[in-house]
């Protein structure tokens, strides 16, 4: 039964595998038969009816079958490459030969020879007068193309590979496994109330479907299975956390009301709602574990201060951890300005050191009531009191989970509030933060200026310089952002240091240009930012070090070079540095000329300022690993992560998990589900989510 699923591949397979092949399969995560069954195809090829050979460039990849009629080693300048001529086995009146090229891959020429038949997959383009496909995926075949086999005459699965094992070997192994799959040896995990399909049927269908249309429901079934397992773990951990004995960390609210009376504005409805949700958590003797997410400029800082004042009034210390020194120091200045009149003691701790260790706290000798810092708060010598009652982590995705946990251990089970200005798609919130309560700031404070976003080619720099002149003449300031600090010959991208000199020369002596990047010391960064805040510097050339928290209301223009290199969510964060005052603001996204897909991608930002819509688009384009950062995401190695954009499926998984736990609250999850990763292993991976 389940023993078959856990059988090592080399003890089960009817073919003898070399050590190199076993090692390659292991690097793909395939150690057992169960692992093989969960190594789902990344795409499929219709090898029942191959496409006709193209006679013009195409905007999509094609799957062709042909015969090699010529091979050559060639040179293009100093570049050496290998090419073949491929012709159709059954040419039509307009089917000409196709050229396939490989650059810098000498091993390919040892695999291919005249007379071999091959199946290839790639996008045809014009190179001079020839129609070529560069670096196509290919597979040599020795059966007639119309003969049904594991590899031809069917909808053929195409798998992710690594060096040491080829497509045919993986396909044959998985085909052998699928032939042995039955309901008895691959039992269902999902209850019949969720789906009537069986896992055995869906595994066979996902690998070797009768038609392409069958693959979608099979993949969806297996994704649902994964998501249900994740939700079971998350919901169980959520209940365990709520059973812990916490401490009430909430005053009467008099101090908070005094604070509100000093403000020249009223909180938005969303801010008031979030503060009330947090207040209810702080009043309960159960540890708060809440996520506060809001779009750029939605006012999370006000909510954070409100929460801290409630804890301080009850006699507890509150700490806020920020990801960068610039952001920590900006928070410190804001907190001082707002809270010193109320007599609240605020201190700052960053990573600045003296010969004797950390520099002293910037507040007086008394223990601070509110402590703001970077990761330096994690060190033992930092004056975090025993009465630490509230921990707020700003831009939580910038921290590792262990870092956050270490700060939490400094107090006696403090309440936790994690904040992010990177809107998280609802599907990821349910999956990644399913054990947290969530507050959302979906309103912008009044008085924010309009932002106009424009997409331009980088060769429009002279026009950009003229526009900057006009804005500075009206008293405004601007950011110019580059992806790199120093020049990179390999990447061939402009750098902040190089551009700083060019912009100084371009704008002349009447405009002061500053430079900010991550290699500057803390003191140097502070000096540059202070000059920019006071308008002694009008143009700030920078890297993405300004991505979060920088707040200069007079800066109304941002020009981002090589914008196509950034994710949509990061561009939205950068754009959030402007539009913070009453002036109309402009964000110019400069892309590299002829960069494929750049204008289409950047147009999304030009169409909307809604960070949640942008986050959804970013997730669809790049996937959860790239959007969140693989190391920080806390997600297990999902085989079907593309379904994380499917809100209906994720909600179905969450509802199913709740029903399962209601039916059996003491559910003991099986050690092996027959899938790629056992549930117990997923619990370990998901322990990284907090």
The pLDDT value recorded for residue 281 is 94
Comparing 552 with 687, the larger pLDDT belongs to 552
Residue 604: is its pLDDT beyond 80? yes
Structure tokens given for 260: 């509100």
**Length of the chain, in residues:** 690
Asked if 381 and 353 count as a contact pair (C-beta separation under 8 A), the reply is: no
Exposure class string for 382-412: b at 16+ Cβ within 10 A, else e: bebeebbbbbbbbbbbbbeeebbeebbebbe
Q: How much of the chain exceeds pLDDT 90, in percent?
A: 39
198 Cβ neighbours under 8 A, 6+ residues apart: 183, 188
Q: Which residues pair with residue 540 across a beta bridge?
A: 479, 514
Structure tokens given for 163: 């060096």
User: Rounded to two decimals, what is the model's pTM?
Assistant: 0.70
- Cβ atoms within 10 Å of 380's Cβ, excluding its own: 6
CATH, residue 148: 2.40.50.140
Asked if 578 and 540 count as a contact pair (C-beta separation under 8 A), the reply is: no
Burial (CB < 10 A; 0-12, 13-18, 19+), residue 40, is buried
Provide mean pLDDT across the span 107-113. 88
The pLDDT value recorded for residue 640 is 81
Q: Are residues 531 and 621 in the same domain?
A: yes
Q: Are residues 341 and 276 in the same domain?
A: yes
Q: What is the mean pLDDT of the chain?
A: 83
CA–CA dist 530, 545 (Å, integer): 15
Q: 227-258 pLDDT, tens per residue?
A: 888 888 888 777 777 777 778 999 999 999 99
9 belongs to a structural domain: no
Asked if 579 and 451 count as a contact pair (C-beta separation under 8 A), the reply is: yes
Q: Are residues 432 and 456 in the same domain?
A: no
Last residue of a domain, one of 401, 416, 441: 441
Helix or strand holding residue 202 (H, E) = helix 199-207
CATH, residue 485: 3.40.50.300
Q: Are residues 220 and 264 in the same domain?
A: no
| Domain coverage including residue 491 | 451-628
CA–CA dist 612, 294 (Å, integer): 9
The pLDDT value recorded for residue 222 is 94
Q: Are residues 395 and 522 in the same domain?
A: no
Q: Are residues 536 and 602 in the same domain?
A: yes
Provide mean pLDDT across the span 168-176. 93
Asked if 414 and 389 count as a contact pair (C-beta separation under 8 A), the reply is: yes
CA–CA dist 575, 589 (Å, integer): 10
Asked if 350 and 521 count as a contact pair (C-beta separation under 8 A), the reply is: no
Burial (CB < 10 A; 0-12, 13-18, 19+), residue 154, is middle
The pLDDT value recorded for residue 414 is 85
CA–CA dist 487, 496 (Å, integer): 8
Helix or strand holding residue 79 (H, E) = strand 79-88
Residue 358: is its pLDDT beyond 50? no
Structure tokens given for 228: 């249900």
Name the range with the highest mean pLDDT among 15-29, 75-89, 430-444: 15-29
Q: Are residues 119 and 215 in the same domain?
A: no
Exposure class string for 233-262: b at 16+ Cβ within 10 A, else e: bbbbbeeebeeeebbebbbeeebbeebbee
Last residue of a domain, one of 125, 142, 158: 158
> Hunting for tokens 């003898």 — which residue is that?
16
DSSP secondary structure, 367-407, as one string: PPSEEEESGGGGSTTS---TTEEEEEETTGGGS-HHHHHHH
Coil, helix or strand at residue 104: coil
Comparing 407 with 288, the larger pLDDT belongs to 288
Residue 342: is its pLDDT beyond 90? yes
Q: Calculate the CA dihedral of residues 31, 37, 41, 45 and round it to 10 degrees.
A: 120
- Cβ atoms within 10 Å of 529's Cβ, excluding its own: 22
15 belongs to a structural domain: no
CA–CA dist 626, 628 (Å, integer): 6
Asked if 507 and 518 count as a contact pair (C-beta separation under 8 A), the reply is: no
Q: 462-471 pLDDT, tens per residue?
A: 999 999 999 9
The pLDDT value recorded for residue 615 is 80
The pLDDT value recorded for residue 656 is 87
Asked if 322 and 372 count as a contact pair (C-beta separation under 8 A), the reply is: yes
CA–CA dist 97, 346 (Å, integer): 74
- Shortest CA distance to 544 belongs to which of 475, 597, 493? 493
4 belongs to a structural domain: no
Provide mean pLDDT across the span 370-384. 72
Q: Are residues 224 and 263 in the same domain?
A: no
Provide mean pLDDT across the span 47-73. 90
Helix/strand/coil (H/E/C) assignment for every residue in 558-609: EEECCHHHCCHHHHHHHHCCCCCCCCCEEEEEEECCCCCCHHHHHHHHHHCC
- Shortest CA distance to 407 belongs to which of 303, 306, 321? 321
Name the pLDDT band for 382 (thresholds 50, 70, 90).
low
Residue 198: is its pLDDT beyond 90? yes
Residue 687: is its pLDDT beyond 60? no
Burial (CB < 10 A; 0-12, 13-18, 19+), residue 664, is exposed
Provide mean pLDDT across the span 429-452. 80
28 belongs to a structural domain: no
CA–CA dist 461, 129 (Å, integer): 34
14 belongs to a structural domain: no
Residue 180: is its pLDDT beyond 70? yes
Q: Are residues 484 and 428 in the same domain?
A: no
Q: Are residues 408 and 312 in the same domain?
A: yes
Last residue of a domain, one of 406, 441, 476: 441
266 belongs to a structural domain: yes
457 belongs to a structural domain: yes
Provide mean pLDDT across the span 212-217. 92
Helix/strand/coil (H/E/C) assignment for every residue in 19-58: HHHHHHHHHCCCCEHHHHHCCCCCEEEECCCCCCCCCCCC
Name the pLDDT band for 283 (thresholds 50, 70, 90).
very high
The pLDDT value recorded for residue 400 is 46
The pLDDT value recorded for residue 375 is 75
Asked if 558 and 588 count as a contact pair (C-beta separation under 8 A), the reply is: yes
Our count of domains for the chain comes to 4
> Hunting for tokens 């494929």 — which residue is that?
596
Q: 529-559 pLDDT, tens per residue?
A: 999 999 999 999 999 888 766 789 999 999 9
CA–CA dist 69, 191 (Å, integer): 55
The pLDDT value recorded for residue 655 is 87
78 belongs to a structural domain: yes
Asked if 350 and 358 count as a contact pair (C-beta separation under 8 A), the reply is: no
Between the CA of residue 604 and those of 568, 571, 617, what are the distances in Å? 8, 11, 8
Burial (CB < 10 A; 0-12, 13-18, 19+), residue 71, is middle
The pLDDT value recorded for residue 31 is 92
Q: Are residues 230 and 260 in the same domain?
A: no
Q: 134-160 pLDDT, tens per residue?
A: 999 899 987 777 666 888 888 999 999
Provide mean pLDDT across the span 21-42. 93
Q: Are residues 465 and 550 in the same domain?
A: yes
CA–CA dist 269, 442 (Å, integer): 9
């Amino acid at each position: 039964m389940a023993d078959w699923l856990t059988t090592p591949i080399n003890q089960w397979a009817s073919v003898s595998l070399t050590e190199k092949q076993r090692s390659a399969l292991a690097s793909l995560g395939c150690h057992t038969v169960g692992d093989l069954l969960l190594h789902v195809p990344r795409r499929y090829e219709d090898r029942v009816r191959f496409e006709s050979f193209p006679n013009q460039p195409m905007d999509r990849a094609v799957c062709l079958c042909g015969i090699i009629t010529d091979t050559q080693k060639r040179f293009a300048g100093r570049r050496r490459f290998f090419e073949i001529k491929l012709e159709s086995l059954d040419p039509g009146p307009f089917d000409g030969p196709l050229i396939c090229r490989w650059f810098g891959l000498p091993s390919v020429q040892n695999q291919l020879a005249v007379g071999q038949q091959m199946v290839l997959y790639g996008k045809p383009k014009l190179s001079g007068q020839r129609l070529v496909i560069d670096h196509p995926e290919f597979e040599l075949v020795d059966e007639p193309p119309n003969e049904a086999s594991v590899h031809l005459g069917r909808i053929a699965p195409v798998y992710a590979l690594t060096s040491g094992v080829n497509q045919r070997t993986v396909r044959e192994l998985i085909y052998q496994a699928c032939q042995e799959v039955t309901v008895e040896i691959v039992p269902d995990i999902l209850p019949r109330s969720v789906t009537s399909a069986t896992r055995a049927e869906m595994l066979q269908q996902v690998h070797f479907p009768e038609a392409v249309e069958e693959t979608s429901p099979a993949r969806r079934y297996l994704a649902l299975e994964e998501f249900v397992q994740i939700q079971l773990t998350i919901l169980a951990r959520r209940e365990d956390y709520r059973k812990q004995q916490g401490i009430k960390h909430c005053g009467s609210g008099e101090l908070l009301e005094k604070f509100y009376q000093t403000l020249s504005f009223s909180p938005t409805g969303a801010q008031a709602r979030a503060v009330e949700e947090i207040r209810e958590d702080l009043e309960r003797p159960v540890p708060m574990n809440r996520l506060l997410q809001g779009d750029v400029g939605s006012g999370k800082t006000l909510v954070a201060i409100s929460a801290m004042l409630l804890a301080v009034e009850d006699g507890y210390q509150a700490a806020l951890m920020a990801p960068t020194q610039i952001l920590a120091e900006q928070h410190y200045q804001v907190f001082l300005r707002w809270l010193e009149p109320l007599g609240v003691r605020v201190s700052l701790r960053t990573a600045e050191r003296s010969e004797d260790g950390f520099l002293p706290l910037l507040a007086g000798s008394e223990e601070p009531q509110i402590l703001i810092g970077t990761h330096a708060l994690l060190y033992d010598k930092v004056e975090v009191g025993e009465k630490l009652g509230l921990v707020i982590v700003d831009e939580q995705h910038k921290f590792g989970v262990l870092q956050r946990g270490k700060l939490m251990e400094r107090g006696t089970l403090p309440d936790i509030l994690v904040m992010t200005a990177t809107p998280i798609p609802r599907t990821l919130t349910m999956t990644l933060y399913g054990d947290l309560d969530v507050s959302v700031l979906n309103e912008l404070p009044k008085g924010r200026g309009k932002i106009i976003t424009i997409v331009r080619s980088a060769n429009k720099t002279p026009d950009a310089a003229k526009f900057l002149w006009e804005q500075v003449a009206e008293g405004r300031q601007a950011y110019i952002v580059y992806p790199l600090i120093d020049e990179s010959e390999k990447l061939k991208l402009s750098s902040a240091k190089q551009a700083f000199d060019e912009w100084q020369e371009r704008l002349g002596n009447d405009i002061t240009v500053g430079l900010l990047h991550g290699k500057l010391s803390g003191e140097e960064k502070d000096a540059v930012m202070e000059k920019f805040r006071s308008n002694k510097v009008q143009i700030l050339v920078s890297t993405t070090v300004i991505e979060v928290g920088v707040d200069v209301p007079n800066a109304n223009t941002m020009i981002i070079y090589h914008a196509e290199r950034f994710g949509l969510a990061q561009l939205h964060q950068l754009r959030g540095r402007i539009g913070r005052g009453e002036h109309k603001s402009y964000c110019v996204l400069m892309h590299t000329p002829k960069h494929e897909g750049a204008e289409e991608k950047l147009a999304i930002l030009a169409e909307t300022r809604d960070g949640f819509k942008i986050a959804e688009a970013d997730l669809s384009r790049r996937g959860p690993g790239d959007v969140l950062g693989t190391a920080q995401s806390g997600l297990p190695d999902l085989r079907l992560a593309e379904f994380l954009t499917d809100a209906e499926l994720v909600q179905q998984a969450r509802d199913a998990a709740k029903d399962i736990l209601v039916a059996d609250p003491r559910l003991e999850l099986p050690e092996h589900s027959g899938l790629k990763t056992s549930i117990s292993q997923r619990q370990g991976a998901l322990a990284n989510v907090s």
